[in-house]
Structure 1
Amino acid sequence: MAQIRSYVIANLLRAEASQHIQYFRKGVLQKSGRGLSIWFDPNGASLTEVPMNDRELIFMIKGQSSDYQDLAVQGSVIWRVVDADKVASRIDFGIDINRGVRLSKPEEQIKSVLTGLVRQFSDAYLKDKGVRDLLEAGLSPVQAAITDGFQADPTLDGMGLEVVSIRVSALSPSPEVYRALQAPTFESLQQKADEATFSRRALAVDKERAIAENELSNQIALAARRKELIAREDANARSEAEAKAAAKQITIEADSEAKIVGAEAEAKRIRLVEQAAADMEKARMAAIAEVPPAVMFALAAQEFAGKLEKIDSLNVTPDMLAGIAQQAKLLFGSQAPET
């Protein structure tokens, strides 16, 4: 924006190099150029300020395809002024002679013209194709169609304007159309996802079956080994039991033989002792047989007397004395005393 300072007799205007200034006095152009610094009399003066640098227009327009589906085109247009005098003659770029501010909004008018042209060129492109073809073609064809339209249209050239570049950033259908277009692809992807899920589950089932079969095989092998182990343990236990039984039998037989030998020895000893006792008794009986009865009676009395510890009283009868005398007579013969 130009800077204007008021003094007593005149005003001083200073503009940036990117601004084109036109100074009119009483409707006659006095000075025109970029980055001017001039003194002017505010009485009967008028000024214009035209920006010469690049400007950007952001647009979003809606159109319809050949199958009557709504589409939105988004992008930007870079434009600039190439002929300040021409554009100033078409659009009001006047500024206040005391403050330097714009008296209108010329850029809004230019943007309105550019937006109308973009809508015109894009509509012509969109109505020629169906929505699916447009979306599959992408952004480059619509961007090229708008560019070709600006190059072929004389409107901007007559206004002293130039389009530097055009960029289309999006070509979007309405939400309903967008979901409808997504549905087949979504279903296809969902079907593939389901197939992948089923395949994964089938693979998982196969792996689980293989794992189960492996576990079963291991269990069978372990059962067979356990059976073999039990058989070996049973055989070992049987062998051990047989060995113990054999050892016990040997011990029993040895004990039996020892007992038999001991019994035979004891019986032999008893027989020898009894035989000796019998022989002694026989000898004694033979000796006793040769001893007279009176002597035997005396010996018996003597033995009886030896076994008696105390005699309180002794009764002697005539019959006893007669018997003793008779025995004595037999023992000593004629020398026996008379009773």
Structure 2
Amino acid sequence: MLGFQYFKADPTVHVIQTSSGQIKRQGKGLSFFYYAPKTSLTAIPMSAKDVPFIFNLQTADYQHLRVQGQLSYRAADPQKLADMLNFTLNENGKEYISEDPTTLGDRVVRVAQGVIQEEIQTTTLRQALTRLKELDTRLKTALISSTPLQQLGITVIDAMLVALTPTPETAKALEAEARESILKDADDAIYDRRKSAVEQERTIKEAELQTEMTINNKQQEIAEAELDNQRTLTRKRAESRAEQMAADISAEETRKALVELAQTNKKIEADAEAYAIEIRAKAASSVPVEYVKAMAMASMDPQQLFAVAMDNFAVNANKIGSLHIGPDTLNSLLKDYNG
């Protein structure tokens, strides 16, 4: 009534009451009565605002790239913001008289767009698609230290890039190229696997050949050792036979010497015996035959004597008419013979 109004601000809204060009009061969450015809109210929200953004940029190789992201900001210095932009409410204190409060988010997004565009336009499409994390970090750092935002009294709390998307045609081309690259990598992997298998097979074959060569060398060494042993045994056997032959020759020579000596001895004995016989013969030739026979008969046994007698009878048979030998005599001779 009568031009007086009641105003109550939210706790997150900074209010500046100005009358006749002088600031009467300011602060967050104020409530008061004011005279509308002479009072100007400025209401600046202090709460954080989230603003999504999507814009198309061109890369260094003239390819279109869509950048999608989101940022959060708040009014850090409401006095600066009030000086730079119009946040004045109408006489009823319900609505803003300017579009500045509604376009504040666009101002922040344009600053972000300028930062990203500066990075994108110096890189190719392929490079940009692989720099999402790097661009995200660069965007945060640039917005936090942005001079235009600081002049407005705005602080960026956070900023992130959600996606970097090429045009559908370019995306298909990149997909085809990536697919071909993947297939090539798959073929290379198959080739590498086959090559590795061949190399492993070759390694196994070489190991088997090496093992076989080692076995052959060992067998050759064993055969050579056996030949050496056989040669040694043959040489030793030959030496043994030579030694045995030498011993046999020595024995034969000894036997020959013994035989020659025995023959010499026998010859000497025969000569001695012949000489003795010759001497006895000479001696016997001078002795009468009857004496010799008598001496011989003296050493004879009865059977021999009987034989000599029978020989004499046979010699003088023409002189003997008859000869009778009795059974007693024969029995005696046979008894002595058998006994």
Q: Once the 2 structures are TM-superposed, how far is the Cα of residue 90 of structure 1 from its aligned partner?
A: 0.7
Q: Aligned residues, how many?
A: 189
Structure 2 counterpart of 1:56: 50
Moved over 4 A (4+): 188-195
Q: Once the 2 structures are TM-superposed, how far is the Cα of residue 55 of structure 1 from its aligned partner?
A: 0.5
Q: Once the 2 structures are TM-superposed, how far is the Cα of residue 96 of structure 1 from its aligned partner?
A: 1.6
RMSD: 2.3
Q: Once the 2 structures are TM-superposed, how far is the Cα of residue 60 of structure 1 from its aligned partner?
A: 0.8
**Residue 166 in structure 1 maps to residue 159 in structure 2:** yes
Structure 1 counterpart of 2:67: 73
Runs (5+) with no aligned partner, structure 1:
1-6, 196-339
Structure 2 counterpart of 1:156: 149
- What is the one-letter code of the residue matched to 2:84? R
Q: Once the 2 structures are TM-superposed, how far is the Cα of residue 175 of structure 1 from its aligned partner?
A: 1.2
Structure 2 counterpart of 1:90: 84
Q: Once the 2 structures are TM-superposed, how far is the Cα of residue 21 of structure 1 from its aligned partner?
A: 0.7
| Structure 1 pair 158–188 and aligned structure 2 pair: CA distance change class (3 A) | closer
TM (norm. structure 1) is 0.52
Q: Once the 2 structures are TM-superposed, how far is the Cα of residue 180 of structure 1 from its aligned partner?
A: 1.2
Choose which of 36, 41, 55 in structure 1 pairs with 2:35. 41
Structure 1 counterpart of 2:14: 20
- What is the one-letter code of the residue matched to 2:137? A
Q: Once the 2 structures are TM-superposed, how far is the Cα of residue 146 of structure 1 from its aligned partner?
A: 1.3
TM (norm. structure 2) is 0.52
Structure 2 counterpart of 1:301: none
**Residue 147 in structure 1 maps to residue 140 in structure 2:** yes
The percentage of aligned residue pairs carrying the same residue is 24
Structure 1 counterpart of 2:242: none
Give the Cα–Cα distance (whole angstroms) in 2 for the partners of residues 76 and 107 of structure 1.
19
Q: Once the 2 structures are TM-superposed, how far is the Cα of residue 194 of structure 1 from its aligned partner?
A: 10
Structure 1 counterpart of 2:292: none
- What is the one-letter code of the residue matched to 2:24? Q
Structure 1 counterpart of 2:113: 119
Q: Once the 2 structures are TM-superposed, how far is the Cα of residue 186 of structure 1 from its aligned partner?
A: 2.2
Give the Cα–Cα distance (whole angstroms) in 2 for the partners of residues 120 and 8 of structure 1.
50
Q: Once the 2 structures are TM-superposed, how far is the Cα of residue 190 of structure 1 from its aligned partner?
A: 6.0
**Residue 183 in structure 1 maps to residue 186 in structure 2:** no
Give the Cα–Cα distance (whole angstroms) in 1 for the partners of residues 126 and 187 of structure 2.
26
Secondary structure of residue in 1 paired with 2:92 = coil
Choose which of 109, 113, 116 in structure 1 pairs with 2:103. 109
Give the Cα–Cα distance (whole angstroms) in 2 for the partners of residues 84 and 93 of structure 1.
10
Q: Once the 2 structures are TM-superposed, how far is the Cα of residue 97 of structure 1 from its aligned partner?
A: 2.4
Runs (5+) with no aligned partner, structure 2:
189-339
Secondary structure of residue in 2 paired with 1:94 = coil
Q: Once the 2 structures are TM-superposed, how far is the Cα of residue 71 of structure 1 from its aligned partner?
A: 0.7
Q: Once the 2 structures are TM-superposed, how far is the Cα of residue 170 of structure 1 from its aligned partner?
A: 0.5
Deviates more, 1:57-66 or 1:146-155: 146-155
Q: Once the 2 structures are TM-superposed, how far is the Cα of residue 178 of structure 1 from its aligned partner?
A: 0.8
Give the Cα–Cα distance (whole angstroms) in 2 for the partners of residues 190 and 144 of structure 1.
33
Give the Cα–Cα distance (whole angstroms) in 1 for the partners of residues 54 and 3 of structure 2.
50
Give the Cα–Cα distance (whole angstroms) in 2 for the partners of residues 47 and 33 of structure 1.
12
